[in-house]
Structures are given as C-alpha cells and as structure tokens.
A and B are shown apart, each in its own frame.
Chain A
Amino acid sequence: MTAAILDLSHPANTVHWHFFLMSVSNVVVIVLMLLVFAVAIVAPFPGRGVKGPKK
C-alpha cells in the first residue's frame, strides 16, 4: 500500500449509543456535512453590486 501520512489501516473506533453504532470517521463526515451546510447558509457572501435588469 502507498504510504499515507496518517495511517487509517487499523480497525475503526466506533461511537456506540443504544443500537446506534457508527465508525468515528463516518460520524466525522456527517457532522462535517451539517457544519458546512450551516456555515454555507449563515456566512456572509461578498456582494458585487446590483445592476439593473438585463437589457
């Protein structure tokens, strides 16, 4: 296998709550998605000035 800087080849750590069981990496991805979505709709977007309707 090509050497990676961070080795992910060991069996996953898991998050276990009642019947919910998910690998930490998957939890990280899902949490990241929610965070990125929240930031995307909340973060200010640079304005470029409003022009009139297209002629």
Chain B
Amino acid sequence: MSGPARPSWTGAVRERAVRALPPEKLLPDSQPAYMASWIYLFGVLSLVSLMLIIASGLILGLKGPGWWHFTGVGHFFNSIHLWSVELFFFFMVIHLWGKYWMAAWRGGRARVWMTGAVTFVVAIPCALTGYVSQQNFDAQWISTQAKDGMNAVGVGAFFNVTNFGQMYSYHVLLLPLAVVALVVAHILLVRKHGIVPPFQRSALRKPPVDPTEADEHPVLAREHAPGNGSPAAPHPVSRGGGL
C-alpha cells in the first residue's frame, strides 16, 4: 500500500484496549504479596455463584416458566437457582464488607467501588423480577405488595410487577444483561487498577536485611524504601492481582 494509511477506528480501539489491559494484566500469574487473607476469595465466590445462577436459569428457560412446577427435574433446577441466588448475595455482601474495611476505593479505585455497589443495587430488582415470575402463591403475594412501593414513586406506571410477561422479560434478559455488564466492567477495572495496597503505617522501621537474602526480599533490600514498604522504583507494566 503506498502513502500513509488512513487512521483506523479498529486499530485505535485495539491499541487503547491493549494499553489499558495487556494480556499479563488481564490474566496475571502473580499477585501482590500482601494478599494473604481468605477475605480476598469472596469476589470470585460471588462471580461463580452468578455463573451458576445463569446456568440454572438457562436450563429453567429451556422448558418455559411453568415447567418446574410439574417435574422433579424442573424443581431440582429451580432449587439450584434459588440456592445460587442465596449464595450470590451471601458472598457478595461479605465481599462488600471486606472491601469497605480495606477502603478499597483508594488509589484511584473509586469506579471499582461504584461499579460493585451498583451491581448490588441492580441485582436486587433482578431478584425481585424472579420472585414475581415464579407463578405460585409467593409470586402473587410479592407482586401485589411490591406494586405499592413501585406505584408510590411513579415507577409502577411503566414497570408493572403484576404483569407476568413484562416481569419475565426483565428477569430473563434485561436485568441479567445489566448485572453481567456491570460485573464485567467491575472486573476489568479491578484488573486495570490492581488490588488496593494496605494502609501505610506512618512509623515503620526498616527491618534488618541479611545481604544474602536480598534477592528473595528486594523490597526489604531497597535503601530508599519509605517506611511503609512501598518502594518508589518503577516496575514493568504487567502486574497481577486477585479477582
């Protein structure tokens, strides 16, 4: 091809994506040494619970909304779906508690916190639309009660919890899409920013360093390391972290 190439949208998108999330950041094989607590597992536990909700929901959708009332297999997958939801909220709230007490929004991570909080908020109406789509007494009661809250704020004018067809559409497609989109954004932001480092301890003594161990503990070996153990020397871009 002769002459300068026309700037390409595709190229620009690709370069921007790779700059923000190179493969080593997207799928890291190391994580910061300070991640030594079981609390760090609750993000991935929430994520896999969501996967099970979607998988069991897919199976429930295969035979339509009435199937689970009339067969043992259908009821089994309804139970899987219900307990996945209970575990999803269980793990997600513990994850939220952990992240709050770590002040995980520090260091430019406000959007990570916000996408996580909005995911929680959107998951609640996603669950509500499921409860009112059960086609049993529970659905009858919840819909006739929830309608008052919705109507009181004007939302009931276009979101009718007693309209099964509308609620089923929101539950099976619209709200899960929103939850998944938010979770993807949340995880990509986590991968981009890394896991928040610990709070600095203002008066930390530099620990004595055995020169023969300097290679294993380069952090300790740095002469100019500030008291908190976060040395200022630059490092390569590919950095890992947890889920």
A-side interface residues toward B, CB under 8 Å? 1-2, 29, 32-33, 36-37, 39-41, 43, 45, 47, 50-55
Contacts and interface: CB of A to CB of B under 8 A. Distances in A.
B165 interface: no
A1 to B, nearest CB: 7
B216 A50 contact: yes
A29 to B, nearest CB: 7
Given A1-B75, A54-B30, A54-B236, A45 B94 contact: no
A54 B36 contact: no
29 contacts: A2-B72, A2-B75, A2-B76, A29-B86, A29-B90, A33-B90, A33-B93, A33-B94, A36-B90, A37-B39, A37-B94, A37-B97, A40-B37, A40-B38, A40-B41, A40-B98, A41-B38, A41-B39, A41-B98, A45-B36, A45-B37, A50-B33, A50-B217, A52-B216, A52-B217, A52-B218, A53-B219, A54-B238, A55-B236
Contacts of B235: 53-54
A40 B94 contact: yes
A51 B72 contact: no
Contacts of B218: 52-53
* 9 tightest Cβ-Cβ pairs between the two chains A and B: A2-B75, A40-B38, A40-B39, A45-B36, A52-B218, A50-B33, A2-B72, A37-B94, A53-B235
B116 interface: no
A36 B41 CA distance: 12
Given A29-B86, A41-B38, 10 more contacts: A41-B37, A41-B98, A43-B38, A50-B217, A51-B30, A53-B235, A54-B235, A54-B236, A54-B239, A54-B240
Contacts of A2: 72, 75-76, 79
B210 interface: no
Contacts of B39: 37, 40-41
B98 A37 contact: yes
Contact of B94 (A36, A50, A52): A36
A45 to B, nearest CB: 5
A45 B93 CA distance: 21
Contacts of B76: 2
A43 B37 CA distance: 8
B223 interface: no
Interface in B191-243: 215-219, 235-236, 238-240
B113 interface: no
Contacts of B98: 37, 40-41
B42 interface: yes
A27 B218 CA distance: 48
A41 B90 CA distance: 16
Interface in B91-122: 93-94, 97-98, 101
